[in-house]
């Protein structure tokens, strides 16, 4: 494989999922999501679907009624990774990955996941409105979205856009739209540091392996800027909240 091909493959290689979330925190969220046997689980903006696969497994795929899942994303490479993961865990008959826009999906499910993908619907409020039509009566939504822990600088606020609000504003946005907050938790600093480090890690390793590659200077500059921006700009300022919602 050429170094350029290695570079493409390295982008998310060290990430468990593309969000600041520990395995222990994920297990808590899935318990609160309460996936039942036979449930239909939908993950919009699923990436490679790691959390979707765990949700389906938690619901159970043996016995007379199997839990089934659908993941929707526009990243074909990530979806291929998800299909491989599903096959490795013997979940390929129970989880389907679909390449497409999250906002275009119209088939409701019993449990819906939408983490870090509100932008696909036009922002937090628009996402909470649209997702209401995709959660079946009695169902639950796991909604992950950014919020400000501290007031950002003007530069950082511009990077993340005007939709980001303090945590009370995010909770109120859900409540105003008829959602009940069944569970609330936030990513802690270790989860954020691990997320940012693993986001960089695959390409950092590529740089160490291929320092003379023509792409190396641009990759090095991109990664250095991201690290500077994180450590000097939004570390401890930007938060990520996980809300389990019902209506």
The CATH code of the domain at 22-188+239-246 is 3.40.50.150
Tell me the pLDDT tens digit for each residue of 204-246: 999 999 999 999 999 999 999 999 999 999 999 999 999 999 9
pLDDT band, very low/low/confident/very high, at 4 (cuts 50, 70, 90): low
Closest CA to 159 of 233, 89, 211: 233
Tell me the pLDDT tens digit for each residue of 105-137: 999 999 999 999 999 999 999 999 999 999 999
Tokens of 53: 């696969």
Q: What pLDDT is recorded for position 1? A: 46
pLDDT band, very low/low/confident/very high, at 64 (cuts 50, 70, 90): confident
Q: What pLDDT is recorded for position 5? A: 76
Q: Where are the beta strands (DSSP E) in 90-226?
A: 95-99, 109-115, 135-148, 165-166, 180-186
Q: What CA–CA distances, in Å, run from 28 to 105, 121, 171, 183?
A: 27, 26, 19, 10
Tell me the pLDDT tens digit for each residue of 17-61: 999 999 999 999 999 999 999 999 999 999 999 999 999 999 999
First-last CA distance in the chain: 50
């Amino acid at each position: 494989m050429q170094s350029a091909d290695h570079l493409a493959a390295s982008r998310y290689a060290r990430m468990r999922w593309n969000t600041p979330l520990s395995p222990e925190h994920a297990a808590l969220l899935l318990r609160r999501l309460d996936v039942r046997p036979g449930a239909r689980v939908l993950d919009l903006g699923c990436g490679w679907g790691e959390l979707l696969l765990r949700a389906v497994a938690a619901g159970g795929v043996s016995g007379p009624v199997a839990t089934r899942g659908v993941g929707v994303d526009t990243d074909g490479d990530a979806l291929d990774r998800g299909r491989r993961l599903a096959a490795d865990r013997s979940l390929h008959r129970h989880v389907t990955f679909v390449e497409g826009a999250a906002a275009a999906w119209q088939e409701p499910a019993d449990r819906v996941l939408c983490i870090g993908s509100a932008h696909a619907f036009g922002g937090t409020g628009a996402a909470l409105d649209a997702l209401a039509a995709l959660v079946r009566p009695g169902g639950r939504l796991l909604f992950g979205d950014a919020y400000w822990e501290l007031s950002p600088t003007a530069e950082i606020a511009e990077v993340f856009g005007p939709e980001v609000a303090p945590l009370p504003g995010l909770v109120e946005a859900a409540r105003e739209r008829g959602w009940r907050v069944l569970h609330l938790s936030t990513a802690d600093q270790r989860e954020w540091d691990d997320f940012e480090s693993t986001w960089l890690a695959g390409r950092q390793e590529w740089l160490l392996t291929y320092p003379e590659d023509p792409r190396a200077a641009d990759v090095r500059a991109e990664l250095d800027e991201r690290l500077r921006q994180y450590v000097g700009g939004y570390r401890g300022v930007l938060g990520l909240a996980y809300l389990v919602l019902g209506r």
